[in-house]
Amino acid sequence: MDRDRRLRDQLVLLLRGGSAHMGFAAAVADFPEALINARPPNVGYTFWHLLEHLRLTQADILEYVTSPEYRERAWPEAYWPAKDARATMREWLESVAAFRRDLEALVAVVSDVGTDLFGAVPSSGEHTVLREALLVADHNAYHVGELGILRQVAAAWGRPRTA
């Protein structure tokens, strides 16, 4: 296997997560509806806020990587729901589905041999596609881990979880 294909395959594994830590699917699996709008102790946002932050950030980076018309959004407003925003279970599931769709769209970008991983994103000469893929993987791993820990704190696993 050539180096380019190996790099792309490794990026896909990293983006999809779960190799060295909990993946997104496990973190959101069977999430209790009664807790989607709960704020864990000493946390300023709900479980749904955290899920939406993951979705919004990943969607933004996907657009940054793919669109020459990308425009920078306001931080933090464009990346987090309003503090008083609440979601229904349907909205939770829509957020999960949108996150997965955008993740697979990014996987398609990095898997495409026509994508220059070391080339600049279309709207900026500052960052590479590779950097943005690594940023998404890093950001998602951090917050998916956070979601898992907060589920543990809120006893939201439905069964004791030891690892």
Identity at 151, one-letter amino acid code: R
State the chain's maximal CA–CA distance in angstroms.
Answer: 51
Domain holding 136: CATH number? 1.20.120.450
For the stretch 35-56, pLDDT in tens is 999 999 999 999 999 999 999 9
Amino acid (1-letter code) at residue 122: P
90, part of any domain: yes
pLDDT above 90: percentage of residues in the chain: 91
- Within a domain: 162: no
- Contacts of 63-66 with C-beta under 8 Å, sequence gap 24+, read 64/121, 64/123, 64/124, 64/127, 64/132, 65/106, 65/109, 65/121, 65/122, 65/129, 65/132, 65/133, 66/105, 66/109, 66/122
d(CA 124, CA 72): 11
Residue 18 is predicted with a pLDDT of: 77
- Asked if residue 37 belongs to a domain, the reply is yes
In a domain, 40, yes or no: yes
Q: Per-residue b/e over 19-31, b at no fewer than 16 CB within 10 Å?
A: eeebbbebbbeeb
Residue 159 lies in a domain: no
Quote the domain boundaries for residue 36: 3-153
pLDDT of residue 124: 86
Q: Which is it for the CA torsion 31, 37, 39, 45, positive or negative?
A: positive
Average pLDDT of the residues of the chain: 95
Contact 80, 48 (CB under 8 A): no
Give the number of domains in the chain. 1
First vs last Cα of the chain: how many Å apart? 35
State pLDDT tens for residues 113-143.
Answer: 999 999 999 998 889 999 999 999 999 999 9
On whether residue 45 sits in a domain, the answer given is: yes
pLDDT of residue 142: 97
Residue 62 is predicted with a pLDDT of: 99
Q: Quick check: is 7 in a domain?
A: yes
